[in-house]
Amino acid sequence: MDARLVGRFMALTQEEERLLSGAPLTQEEYTNDASSVFSSRKLLPPSRLIALRKHTRFAEFPAHSHDYIEILYMLSGETTHEMPGDEPLTLRAGELLMINCHAVHSIHRCGEKDVGVNFIIRPSFFDDALAMVGSSNALGCFLLDALGRGERSVPYLHFKVADVPSIQRLMESVLYRLLEQEDMHQRTLKAAMNLLLLDLLDHTAYLSMPDRRGNPLVLSVLEEIEQHYASIRFDDLAAKHHVSPAYLCKMVRKTMGESCTQILQRKRIAQARWLLRDTDLPIVEIAQAVGYENTGHFYRLFERETGLSPRAYRDAQRNA
């Protein structure tokens, strides 16, 4: 890890100075009420979707959850986390811990050399990332849970990537960007974080997560939607698995909280958003590319999902 980064975060914060003087951890700095839910309103400016915050040392954090996604990256030393129903998790230097919205955990006291940084991220920051990552893998399921579209089955992801140079370089780059350009454009930050997610997706051999297996039938449906969203037929998919279409759709709704059609439409619209933003394809061709022969139907679905017509969405993205 870059020694300059470690040095910048090693310095004591005002909160840490108070803790060293004997003051208790002040819950009001993290929550809006007497609950144990840490609030993004306390930790993020209203106009920001992502912010950087040093992990506070010299105090034990009692069991709590967040209304945001937290990504903890250790620069030096380690932190120990307690997750209900799991063995204690130790996060070491160079490793990443992604903690989902509403996941409960507590953190042991950190010493002087246990230096970590938190990315505090509102879930909507990852709206486009889900289309890129896909929903048929652990990272995609994590994002589905964060966006309120999953079944809260992935409370955390632990990436033991201290020895993966590409991820370490990306983390250093993102940290320097956030430190030196506080008003950085949101699209630039999203691009940097999306690169990180893609690299993590390529290194799932380094991933540790709770042993909570999903329904194989549902995972197969999600994978088919991910790979064949423009041409998928659920009747054919049900026949492939020797179940009725009604049973297939029932299992998907039970597991995901949404119907097969809703999940497929969300995937198609997400892909259309990407094509509108990053290509010059005519809108009629984009509608066909994502599976809609009826352009009028595509227009109605797109506006219902995004609040904008496809043309207005393209203009807004290019003028941002």
Give ranges for CATH 1.10.10.60 in the chain: 216-319
Distance CA(215)–CA(255), nearest Å, equals: 8
User: 311 or 150: whose pLDDT is higher?
Assistant: 311
In whole angstroms, what is the distance from residue 248 CA to residue 126 CA? 28
Rounded alpha-carbon distances, angstroms, from residue 288 to 51, 131, 200, 276, 294: 38, 18, 32, 13, 8
Cβ(37)–Cβ(67) under 8 Å?
yes
pLDDT (tens digit per residue) in 22-70 = 999 888 888 877 668 899 888 888 878 888 899 999 999 988 889 999 9
**Is pTM, for the whole model, over 0.85?**
no
The average pLDDT across 263-290 equals 90
Please report, to the nearest 10 degrees, the dihedral formed by the alpha carbons of residues 201, 208, 151, 141 taken in order. 0
The residues facing 73 across adjacent strands are 96, 117
Q: What is the pLDDT of residue 84?
A: 76
> Which residues, in sequence order, are CB contacts of 274 under 8 Å at separation 6+?
128, 131, 132
CATH 2.60.120.810 placement within the chain: 3-208
CATH superfamily membership of 216-319: Homeodomain-like (1.10.10.60)
The yes-or-no verdict on residue 106 having pLDDT over 80 is yes
What value does the mean pLDDT of the chain take?
86
**Closest C-alpha among 134, 139, 136 to residue 215:** 136
Class in CATH terms, 3-208? mainly beta
pLDDT band at 213 (very low <50, low <70, confident <90, very high): very low
